Amino acid sequence: MTIRPLPALAAALCLALPVTAGASIPGNIDQRAREGLLHVCTDTEPDDVDDYIVCSEQVGGDPQEAYTGSECVTAGLPATCVLDFIPKVKLKATLLLIKDEVAEDGSGGSIEASGLVLQLKKGKKKATLIELFDGATLGNWNFFPEDFLVNAPVVEFTNVDQTAYQFANGTLFELGLDVRDIAAGWFPKADLSGAVAVLTAIALDPKSAPLDHDGGDLLASAATFKIEIQFVRARP
């Protein structure tokens, strides 16, 4: 038997952004993905959009535990559950990540601040999103120092098997909604109404050297990444 639920977690889950290597990051990539993103046994889209098998049973009935794949076995498939990506919807983007440990506070003192500039692209279509943050609380990130951005940062954005991705909440909530809205306009035939944007590739931009102002002056430091964003249906 096949089941096709309506995804309904878009209001709670948005953009997947990376985890800084060497930092202490709350949560667990695998557990977060199991609880929030739809998993399926096999997904033959776009050829068979109404006929795929949803993974539901999880070890101990815990929504954060691994899927057993029992539904897959019953259907004669391997007991493997994978993320339910929306096919043929992919955005390429440039991410400029900024951090300033001594940003001006307007009273003669300083505060820590961070920000990002996200430039999305599809063919000749372009869109730019900018956000600022108090400290370094980007979604579920913990603190990351300014020198992280100037020392060839390695960003971990998925688990080893590439079956789960970090998806951010909190301070990245509105940014995630905007990314999804832009994609919906650029891919009018795709139903993104209940989808969650996830980061599926990230690497330092070899053409853009980090901006290093760590310790030398009061300006911010930054690093530029090339990224790809795709969309996964949320769990109902």
Mean pLDDT of 76-102: 90
Return left, alpha or beta for 28; rule: phi > 0 is left, psi -120 to 50 is alpha, else beta: beta
| Model pLDDT, residue 127 | 97
Q: Which of 81, 86, 53 is nearest to 69 (CA)?
A: 81
Planar angle of CA 137, 217, 110, nearest 5 degrees: 45
Give the pLDDT band (50/70/90) at residue 7.
very low
Which DSSP helix (H) or strand (E) runs through 34?
A: helix 29-36
Q: How confident is the model at residue 214 (pLDDT cuts 50, 70, 90)?
A: confident
The DSSP bridge partners found for residue 13 are none
Residue 184 has pLDDT above 60, yes or no: yes
CB 16 within 8 A of CB 33: no
More confident residue, 14 or 150: 150
Q: CB-based contacts of 143: which residues, under 8 Å, 6+ apart? A: 23, 135, 136
Token readout for 45 is 């889209």
